[in-house]
Amino acid sequence: MSPVRQLWLAMRAQRGLLVAAAILGFIAAASSVALLGTAGWLISYAAQMPPVLALAVAAVMVRAFALSRSVFRYLERIVGHDAAFRGLTGLRVRVYERLEALAPVGLTRFSRGDLLARLVADVDAALDLPLRVVLPWAQAALVSLATVAFLAWLAPGSSVLAAVALLLGLTAIPWLVSRIAASAEARLAPARGSLSAAVVSTLEGNADLLAFGATGAALSDISRRDEHLTSIARREAAGLGIGTGLGVLVQGIAVVGCLALAIPAVTDGRLTPVWLAVVALLPLAAYDIVATLPSSAVAYQRVRSSAARIADVLDQPLPVQDPEHPMPLSSRETGSLTIECSDLYARWSLDGTSDALRGVHLRVGEGERIAIVGPSGAGKSTLAAVLLKFLKYDGCVTLGGCSLADMTGDEVRRDMGMLGQDSHIFDTTVRDNLRLGRADASDSDMRAALERVHLLDWLDALPRGLETELGPRGSVMSGGERQRLALARLLLANRPILVLDEPTEHLDLETADALTDDLLDLTHGRTTVLITHRLRGLQQVDRIVVLIQGQVRAEGTHAELVAQGGWYAERWAREQEQGDITAMADRIPAGTALVR
User: How many residues are given for the chain?
Assistant: 596
- Backbone phi, psi, residue 422, to 5°: -140, 85
Are 284 and 36 in contact, with CB atoms under 8 Å apart? yes
Is 31 or 382 the residue whose CB approaches ligand ADP more closely? Answer: 382
Dist. CA 23–CA 93, nearest whole Å: 29
Residue from the set 2, 70, 108, 342 that interacts with ligand ADP by CB under 6 A: 108
CB count in 10 Å sphere of residue 493: 17
Task: Name the minimum Å distance from CB 423 to ligand ADP.
Answer: 16
Is 106 or 130 the residue whose CB approaches ligand ADP more closely? Answer: 106
In the shown chain, the binding pattern of residues 551 to 590 toward ligand ADP, with x for contact by CB under 6 A and - for none, equals ----------------------------------------
In the sheet that holds 543-548, the strands lie side by side as 416-419, 497-501, 527-532, 369-373, 543-548, 551-556
Dist. CA 560–CA 538, nearest whole Å: 12
- Backbone phi, psi, residue 590, to 5°: -60, 140
Is 184 or 391 the residue whose CB approaches ligand ADP more closely? Answer: 391
Is 376 or 442 the residue whose CB approaches ligand ADP more closely? Answer: 376
Are 343 and 359 in contact, with CB atoms under 8 Å apart? yes
Task: Name the minimum Å distance from CB 71 to ligand ADP.
Answer: 57
Contacts (Cβ under 8 Å, ≥6 apart) of 49? none
Dist. CA 344–CA 260, nearest whole Å: 84
Dist. CA 122–CA 115, nearest whole Å: 10
Task: Name the minimum Å distance from CB 533 to ligand ADP.
Answer: 7
Task: Name the minimum Å distance from CB 376 to ligand ADP.
Answer: 4
Is 103 or 476 the residue whose CB approaches ligand ADP more closely? Answer: 103
Sites for ligand ADP among residues 351-410 (CB under 6 A): 356, 374, 376-382
Helix (DSSP H) and strand (DSSP E) numbers for the chain: 22, 10
Task: Name the minimum Å distance from CB 560 to ligand ADP.
Answer: 22
Strands 527-532 and 543-548 come out as unpaired
Residue from the set 348, 363, 458, 572 that interacts with ligand ADP by CB under 6 A: 348
Dist. CA 358–CA 381, nearest whole Å: 14
- Binding residue count for ligand ADP, defined by CB under 6 A: 12
Q: Looking at the DSSP assignment, which residues form a beta bridge with residue 139? A: none
Task: Name the minimum Å distance from CB 539 to ligand ADP.
Answer: 22
Task: Name the minimum Å distance from CB 385 to ligand ADP.
Answer: 7
Is 241 or 375 the residue whose CB approaches ligand ADP more closely? Answer: 375
Is 50 or 566 the residue whose CB approaches ligand ADP more closely? Answer: 566
Are 180 and 238 in contact, with CB atoms under 8 Å apart? yes
In the shown chain, the binding pattern of residues 88 to 107 toward ligand ADP, with x for contact by CB under 6 A and - for none, equals -----------------x--
Is 108 or 171 the residue whose CB approaches ligand ADP more closely? Answer: 108
Closest CA to 583 of 520, 509, 475: 509
Are 326 and 389 in contact, with CB atoms under 8 Å apart? no
In the shown chain, the binding pattern of residues 6 to 45 toward ligand ADP, with x for contact by CB under 6 A and - for none, equals ----------------------------------------
Are 38 and 154 in contact, with CB atoms under 8 Å apart? no
Task: Name the minimum Å distance from CB 204 to ligand ADP.
Answer: 19
Task: Name the minimum Å distance from CB 369 to ligand ADP.
Answer: 19
Binding positions for ligand ADP, rule: CB under 6 A: 105, 108, 348, 356, 374, 376-382
